[in-house]
Structure 1
């Protein structure tokens, strides 16, 4: 009996040691991955910033050469238009594509800062940005139904139960809900705008 108990204890002890070792290995692998990812991210961030500054420099050079009075420095207007268009395409790729996550984030509006503080609400991946937009549309659609039902219910209750007079509490409740609704919509729209959506709050 004691021998069986001793064997069970050894087996459990070995399993615990194995689990502890696996946890240590997993921790080391995760730390290595995070270090590698952060160094790759830093490299991409530097490349994005460098490319952005190159685009700005080339655009400035192009504009100065177009407006230059020196004929040797002037570009042909067709060539200048083509170069400007190419620079615009490159800038759109950087600012509207996945590389935009590596550029410094746009300043958040005062409205967002006032309600949620200095939290970075910029989504780094395109699928997350699309999910934020889908969530906004879903929220807007859900609340649109309530937007119609709430006042309709108040009007029906006014005529059937309250004898043509609206009590203060239901009206205040409706006004509080409207405040919540518009604040929520404004926050979501500002977050969408920060993430590159062209929605106007």
Structure 2
């Protein structure tokens, strides 16, 4: 069999346009999944990636930059000080080791530990960064976390939302944890960029 005959027997696939990966194709045409014949909801859910996992790295970096800017605005600071930077780096480490639920739970520790200086420095940073992330993941939530003015009330609402997600929507919780891990790297980068000289 000649090479010419062999190549004509297996024509190049035209299922994917040039320079477009299958993942990119799926993310751009998720609406087509609903019209797939013989496709059950379970199959559609397996094929369609969750919202947090579809966000491109460039968008995650922009989101992280916005989160850091928002913290600076709320704290009325032009730059991040050393304590702010350490709190952000600590959040990144906590997310990697213990997870999203644990990081949110840290914000809800008893008031008996309120005198702990490390917690005092950590609490505002974690609350703002995690609150913004959850608001973006769950835009249809009953209350926008970042609109709650009382810090402790906001932390309680954040905890309730994450516990509910973990119990009722575990796949969404895991996707949110993955997003928090991705975001944490960019939080670290932008925190260093906005650190005091």
Q: What is the TM-score when the length of structure 1 is the normalising length?
A: 0.25
Give the number of the structure with larger relative contact order, counting CA–CA contacts within 8 Å between residues 6 or more apart: 2
Determine which structure has the larger helix proportion and give its number: 1
Greater C-alpha Rg: 1
| TM-score, reference length from structure 2 | 0.26
